[in-house]
Amino acid sequence: MRFLATLFLLVLLLATVEASRRSRLLRKLYKKSTNYDTAPNNVETVWYKGMRLDHFTWGDTRTFDLRVMWNNTFYKEGGPIFFYTGNEGGLESFEKATGMMFDLAPMFNAAIIFAEHRFYGQTQPFGKDSYKNLANIGYLTSEQALADYAELLTELKRDNNRMGKTFSQDTPVISFGGSYGGMLSAWFRQKYPHLVKGAWAGSAPLIYMHDGGVDPGAFDNITSRTYVDRGCNRYILANAWNATIRLSSTDAGRQWLNNNNVFKLDPRTPIKTAADGWNLNSYLREAIEYMAMVDYPYPTGFLEPLPAWPVDAACGYMNATGTSFSDQDLVSAVANAANIYYNYNKNASFTYCIDYSICGDQGTGGLGDDQLGWPWQECSEIIMGMCARGGSNDVFWNECPDNIYDDLKQGCISIFGSMNWTTANWNIDAVKTLYGYDLSGSSNLILTQGHLDPWSGGGYTADQTNAARGIYVMEIPGSAHHLDLRTPNTCDPNTVTNARFQIVSILKCWVDKNCNTIPTITPLPSISIPNTECKDVIGGYPWGQTTGSAAAASALLSLIVAIYYALF
């Protein structure tokens, strides 16, 4: 009986750790700024006073203030509005991670507007009580957020409006967004086509929900592919996790884990049991997954300070050939790789705090008072079934239960049980009902996915492109999580540059009332990675690309296909 009780507690611990890990994954890129009150210097912060708390009833007249950041420097009459649909965090990080809006605005004479998502950043409808109870947090929904954005845009086109800036009624609006923001951007176009001319949604896992047709193991399958394709020894990654558990199950192994030359454990979270070993595994795994998401071709620092191509750097520690490794060798290899993520600057005092309940999430640094926001959305409407399968699917351990949604319920209870959360507070088919998975009724959507990005498995595929209705789906080789929306850089792969070039042609037609042609896209070129000094390219359009070369490539491809069918 004691053994069964211990086993039950271990299984419960693993379920709780995994639910916590999932809740952190999609909010990965947007840690709290050093100074949450300081806006970037290229935007002005304004407030929309009196935003309706509930857009779907006329009996509740409560309001709140919604934070907006904008830049009207480049705007000229007749130009469009570039509108960012804010997502799960403060606006500061989104503004910094979406440089394409600023790079293209002068060419389009566009205004730039970032609207903060309710319940995130400084937009707290109930102030410090926003996350106090279910009655308050229940107003945190994607549908209410989209209605906020619709009301804001409608107000901006009224004369003498409360924002002090009026745009003409026929000003076209293009929505932009990455990750969950990309989901919102696409849904914004779908739900409010009379307000939004088109959407550029980067790395949006729009169908990674119940009945969306995506395997729960897709995320970790792509993570594993990204590492193995870059030269990592699959055996090392796949076997390090059991090595950790074996070490944490013996006195000698625990002695090494608590005192080694590769990493230092925080004094608050020593390894005393196998359960602590699982905490270490989750901690190391988070670094591996995050580096796959942000595997950018130049150094970045918005998540953690990282080198260019961090997966390449990580594989430098995990590329030894063969299978003859000790448990210490395996754990050391993966921990050295994780150190690139957690401690690239080699701070001698840095320690692994592996229990999130004690230290919070060292992987993202936290989101301030809104840390319950995304977990709530995962426990109400945006419910993603995700798990590693191990084996041939990925390099992690098999954690997929018979019913993943039962597992998710336990995670929600562990987080919101004190607020009396029950399954009556969620709807696993909410996204399917509100927005749908079928693009047949949609138009004017640019949906980009990075081939390196684990989230790409939750998006649409290129064969769902339908230029006649303005649906363009691109999977971009060499691109990680919404790299295409970031500021152009000399080190960007040619595939990313060409994708942006083709997208600009689409945007030009969308905002031009006289455009009568249907934009088309051509296959992206074979990937080529520049070997040069990395620096931002401001105002560099067309970035060395030409329509003629793309058209020629398309014509050549069509000719080859025609010859093939003629001969065979």
Question: Catalytic annotation on 179?
Answer: yes
Question: Catalytic annotation on 453?
Answer: yes
Q: Exposed e or buried b for every residue in 457-479, given b needs 16+ CB within 10 A?
A: bbbbeeeebeeeebbbbbbbbbb
Rounded CA-CA distance 44/188 in Å is 24
Rounded CA-CA distance 374/383 in Å is 10
> Residue type for 154, please?
T
The strand pairing partners of 198, in sequence order, are: 174
* Given the residues 117, 451, 481, 482, the one annotated as active site: 481
Rounded CA-CA distance 356/218 in Å is 25
| Cβ proximity of 90 and 120 under 8 Å | yes
CA nearest to 30, candidates 481, 414, 538: 481
CA-CA-CA-CA torsion sign (460, 462, 463, 464): positive
Give CA angle at 357 (351, 363), nearest 5°.
Answer: 50
| Cβ proximity of 473 and 461 under 8 Å | yes
Question: What backbone torsions phi and psi does residue 265 show, to the nearest 5 degrees?
Answer: -85, 140
> Which residues make Cβ contacts (< 8 Å) with residue 418, sequence separation at least 6?
none
* Helix (H), strand (E) at residue 201: strand 198-202
DSSP 126-139: TGGGTTSSHHHHTT
Give, as one character, the DSSP assignment of residue 391: T
* Given the residues 148, 312, 327, 453, the one annotated as active site: 453
Rounded CA-CA distance 245/318 in Å is 19
Rg of the chain over Cα atoms, rounded to whole angstroms, equals 24
- For 58, the token pair is 């006329």
- For 149, the token pair is 């954005």
Q: How far is CA 156 from CA 70, 173, 209, 487, in A?
A: 12, 12, 34, 27
Q: How far is CA 449 from CA 106, 178, 311, 328, in A?
A: 26, 10, 18, 37
- For 122, the token pair is 């400084």
* Given the residues 23, 179, 185, 282, the one annotated as active site: 179
Rounded CA-CA distance 17/19 in Å is 6
| Cβ proximity of 408 and 423 under 8 Å | no
Give, as one character, the DSSP assignment of residue 467: G
The strand pairing partners of 300, in sequence order, are: 306
Question: Catalytic annotation on 481?
Answer: yes
Question: What backbone torsions phi and psi does residue 200 show, to the nearest 5 degrees?
Answer: -110, 105
- Residue 346: CB atoms within 10 Å: 7
Question: What backbone torsions phi and psi does residue 282 show, to the nearest 5 degrees?
Answer: -65, -35
What is the residue whose two structure tokens read 């409407």? 381
Catalytic residue numbers read 179, 453, 481
